[in-house]
A and B are shown apart, each in its own frame.
Chain A
Amino acid sequence: MKGTVSLTDIYAKYHEQVKFIPIYIREAHPVDGWWFGGNLFTKKLMKTFAPKVAMDVHDPQTIEQRRQVAGTCEASLSYGVRTYVDEMDDAVNKSYAAWPTRLYLIDIDGVVVYAAGLGPYDFHPSKLEKAIENYL
């Protein structure tokens, strides 16, 4: 889409100056949760606007299952960036209120300089890019 920027683009542009840490957290729309695949409209919507999003994943019940899905996700999205996996207590997810998706930029003093609003509505890689530009 014209004018949009992807996380892959941002990573390619800034990975030497910024450490990127993708974190796989609890599934957003698993088959056994708030599933979008059972509704024809949402299914079509997701396939159109988010074709790489999986529609047939169950919420992992063990850390091994979670790592397996995270690995499949990492390979599918082809970011080329190592993905880290939240533990089953969802500790990191909870401390950043990250579900279903969220972006942050942390400066070299460990201070938050960009905190996106709640996902998915405020998931805008372009805002993260702007924050990186402003910080650097």
Chain B
Amino acid sequence: MMATKIVDKKTAATWQEEYDTHAPKVGDIAPDFSLLDANGQNPVRLSEFRQQKPVALIFGSFT
């Protein structure tokens, strides 16, 4: 679970400051991950695209 529950602007800023410190910057190796789709299928791993294609990561939610 998240270390900080985000309920307002202040807690949002606290969460972002906490994790942005360690987020990858230009020139850094992107942290690898493996995830499933919305049906719990079709696993994807970031590193599988190395030497294949550049990857655009688009993070978001419904709200």
Contacts and interface: CB of A to CB of B under 8 A. Distances in A.
A118 B9 CA distance: 13
A86 B59 CA distance: 10
B24 A73 contact: no
Contact-residue size bin, chain A (C-beta under 8 Å from the other chain): 35 or more
Interface string A104-136: 111111111111001100000000100010011
Nearest to B2: A90
Contact of B57 (A21, A24, A67): A21
Interface residues of B, number: 51
A103 B54 CA distance: 13
B63 A112 contact: no
A21 B58 contact: yes
Contacts of A30: 63
Contacts of A115: 23-26
Given A53-B63, A95-B22, A22 B54 contact: no
